[in-house]
Structure 1
Amino acid sequence: ANMDPNHRDRIAFVRVCSGTLTRGMKARLARTGKQMGLTAPQFFFASQRQLADTAYAGDVVGIPNHGALRIGDTLTDGEALVFQGVPNFAPEILRRVRLEDAMKAKKLKEALQQMAEEGVVQLFTPEDGSPAIVGVVGALQLDVLKERLKAEYGLPVSFEMARFSVCRWISAEKTADLEKFISGRRGDIARDLDGDPVFLAQDGFSLNYESERAPEIRMIAIKEYHQAKAA
């Protein structure tokens, strides 16, 4: 959550599932395998905040961070434990984001990254360098994105139809097969927030056609959100 737009104050709300969380402890982020310090966990009471010295199972605390934590993440005391988060579903609607002031392109890129980390939209960055594409399940998400970009970042935007209406995450048993598929269709390939490749198709017919032409490529509509990484 973006608690204070003036300071980009971002808080991840975390439920303690077992054991205790203490201020200053180091916790392991299962998705990346990296350690992060919990220097200022906070309890929230109405509009008040209070530093949490200790939190127990069942407590919900706020962890200030700059995008390190995402929805569904697991923090542990060191073990390779992961709670499967909500998976990513292929979006129903794909739109290009049109910025009224081209001078603020860098600011828009940062804002879209943060909105995607919060789960407001899915963000796809085309391999060919064309403008970013956002994916949503319902049109209401576009309204929310537009309003938040304007209110929190001072970025008035509009949305344009993309020539794509379907997207699928792609993979292959052989890295060479995946690289060949990507290099031959660079105008139809984008990367998601994790850098994973996505194939963008004009419609279901085009998707099926390309899928039949390249049986070695696995195309999935639901991406498992997290896998625990070894330390």
Structure 2
Amino acid sequence: IAFVRICSGKFERGMEAMHVQGGRKIKLATGTTMMADDRAIVDEAYAGDIVGLFDPGIFSIGDTICTGKKPVQFAGIPTFAPELFARVTQVDTLKRKQFVKGMEQLAQEGAIQIFRELGAGMESVIVGVVGTLQFEVLEQRLKSEYHVEVRRQPLPYTDIRWIVNEPGTIDIPGLSLTRDTLRVEDMRGGKLLLFTSPWNIDWATDHNKELKLSEFGNVEF
């Protein structure tokens, strides 16, 4: 279930709306309100109300849903930089689907941030967290909810920066970077750089004058 706040207008069960970030129309078949363990189906809701929508895996924190001819998109919620990084792989390669599904859903919840090297698949992912406890929660939830055991390999990266240049205006593979700087992308396709020290960040900006970096994701410049 994805919880949404109605900012204006009226929600009606079964109405069609535009999922702006996904670029497609969806049917809001069922609205739900929750109080402790009690759930109730909502036929109508108005500005200020919070309803739960069935999420087939398309919603992320900060997404906008709207009706009308002209799509409305609110500013994205800034994504803060994680401080600890590790490479996570599944122990049983036959459980790849469960591993990918679990990682993506936990990332959508905001419990972790996941990245992958440019051009790589989801066989192993780089996980970024704020505290070590998040790694332990990740491993436990993958095991209990998705029946997947994983290996965790700590990585030496200490800093992460989002590349905020307009798409196509910079050659990311051709950037002049130190050998221990890693090019990655997030779930939304945003391009980032992982650094092992602030000195490497200065190297990247000094040797690539056109490069624009940000400590936060989903920020408009």
Fold shared by both chains (TM-score > 0.5): yes
* C-alpha distance in structure 2 between counterparts of 1:168 and 1:85, whole Å: 17
> How far has the Cα of 1:156 moved from its partner?
2.3
1:120 aligns with 2:114: no
Written as runs of structure 1 = structure 2, the 5 A alignment for 1:134-145 is 134-145=127-138
Q: Which residue of 2 aligns with 1:204?
A: 198
Partner of 1:115: helix, strand, or coil?
helix
Given the alignment of the two structures, is residue 190 of structure 1 paired with residue 184 of structure 2, yes or no? yes
Deviation at 1:183, TM superposition (A): 9.7
The letter of the residue matching 1:12 is A
Distance in 2 (alpha carbons) for counterparts of 1:74 and 1:46? 26
**Would you say 1:165 and 2:158 are equivalent positions?**
yes
1:57 Cα deviation from its structure 2 partner: 2.0
Indicate if the aligned counterparts of 1:178 and 1:217 stay in contact, CA closer than 8 A: no
* Larger fraction in helix: 1
Match of 2:8 in 1: 18
Higher mean Cα deviation, 82-91 or 180-189? 180-189
75 and 127 in structure 1: CA distance in 2 versus 1, 3 angstrom threshold: same
Of 71-80 and 114-123, more deviation after overlay is shown by 71-80
Runs of 4+ in structure 1 deviating by more than 4 angstroms, as ranges, are 182-187
Question: Which segment is superposed worse, 68-77 or 129-138?
Answer: 129-138
Q: Greater shift after overlay, 202-211 or 99-108?
A: 99-108
Distance apart, 1:152 and its partner CA: 0.7
Compute the displacement of 1:77 (Å). 1.8
Partner of 1:133: 126
Secondary structure in 2 matching 1:44 = strand
- Sort the Cα spacing of 1:209 and 1:179 in 2 relative to 1 into closer, same or farther, 3 A: closer
Scaled by the length of structure 2, the TM-score of the pair is: 0.86
Specify the alignment match of 2:98 in structure 1: 107
The residue number in structure 2 matching 1:4 is: none
**Amino acid across the alignment from 2:12:** T
Cα distance in structure 2, aligned partners of 1:139 and 1:14? 30
Verify the 8 A CA contact 1:14 1:62 in the aligned structure 2: yes
- Is residue 85 of structure 2 the alignment partner of residue 94 of structure 1? yes
Work out whether residues 72 and 86 of structure 1, in 8 Å CA contact, stay in contact via their aligned partners in 2: yes
Structure 1: gaps spanning 5 or more residues: 1-10
What amino acid is aligned across from residue 222 of structure 1 in structure 2?
Answer: F
C-alpha displacement of 1:187 = 7.6
The C-alpha deviation readout for 1:113-151, integer Å capped at 9, x for no partner, is 111111111110112638310111222322221221111
Cα drift, residue 31 of structure 1: 2.3
Answer yes or no: is 1:221 the counterpart of 2:215: yes
Q: Report the count of equivalent residues.
A: 217
Q: Report how far residue 214 of structure 1 moved.
A: 1.0
CA distance in 1, matches of 2:194, 2:17: 37
Aligned mates of 1:41, 1:169 — CA distance in 2: 35
* 3-state secondary structure, aligned to 2:22: coil
Which piece of structure 1 moves more, 130-139 or 177-186? Answer: 177-186
Does structure 2 retain, via aligned residues, the 8 Å contact 1:23–1:40?
yes
Query: Relative contact order: is structure 1 or structure 2 higher (C-alpha 8 Å, sep ≥ 6)?
Result: 1
Q: Which moved more, 1:16-25 or 1:97-106?
A: 97-106
**Residue 34 of structure 1: how far off its partner (Å):** 2.3
SS at match of 1:89: coil
